[in-house]
Amino acid sequence: MKYIINHSNDTAFNIALEEYAFKHLLDEDQIFLLWINKPSIIVGRHQNTIEEINRDYVRENGIEVVRRISGGGAVYHDLNNLNYTIISKEDENKAFDFKSFSTPVINTLAQLGVKAEFTGRNDLEIDGKKFCGNAQAYINGRIMHHGCLLFDVDLSVLANALKVSKDKFESKGVKSVRARVTNIVNELPEKSQLKNSVTYSWNT
């Protein structure tokens, strides 16, 4: 496996880097990238940004909006989350098997004393609250799986920057976005510990 620890916080560059690795580093059977973005919103390949983001709030607060090549919903990034990407040569039958790609994160957190679980189609939760969303793309025998770990993200900015229908979070039995998500820092104070553990979780 080739490891790329990307120290750039430039969102457009980081999204372009993982797409380049996915489409052009074809000699590598597996690639792992770790990266952190400045405040930004990453929208899915087919999303309508007008419906997904609060444009006035995003503009006033200098939050960059970048589109990725994978599907899924809009996500908010800032300097206090941790993004990971796994690129792997796989049979098409494994495409969009989110659980198998998420298991190393769940196992790593368990080793650090944090109980997490896979829920729904592509979410990870702690005590019923989401802390990680995942998305995938599949092209010509290669899968790109990426996830966004909320470590100590400003949840008030997240809630204001994204438009989320009431139906989406009320179906979970909560009344707001902030009540539906959580940060890992509440369970694991040291970000470096998480970063190092996640990096090597795919090296087993």
SS (H, E, C) 36-82: CCCCEEEECCCCCHHHHECHHHHHHCCCEEEECCCCCCCEEECCCEE
Identify the burial level of 198 via C-beta atoms within 10 angstroms of its C-beta, where 0-12 means exposed, 13-18 middle and 19 or more buried. Answer: buried
Does residue 173 carry a pLDDT above 90? no
| Nearest-angstrom CA–CA distance, 109 and 193 | 10
Yes or no: say if 163 and 73 are a contact pair by the CB < 8 Å rule: no
**DSSP strands (E only) in the chain:** 2-5, 30-35, 40-43, 64-67, 75-77, 81-89, 117-119, 123-126, 129-139, 142-150
pTM of the model: 0.87
First to last CA, the chain: 11
Domain boundaries, the chain: 2-200
- Dump pLDDT digits (tens) for 14-61: 999 999 999 999 999 999 999 999 999 999 998 888 888 999 999 999
Query: Please, is 190 exposed, middle or buried when counting C-beta atoms within 10 Å of its C-beta (0-12, 13-18, 19+)?
Result: exposed
Give per-residue pLDDT as tens, 146-164.
999 999 999 999 999 998 7
Domain 2-200: assigned CATH number: 3.30.930.10
Are 107 and 201 contacting, i.e. CB atoms less than 8 angstroms apart? Answer: yes
pLDDT of residue 198: 78
Give the DSSP letter of residue 176. Answer: S
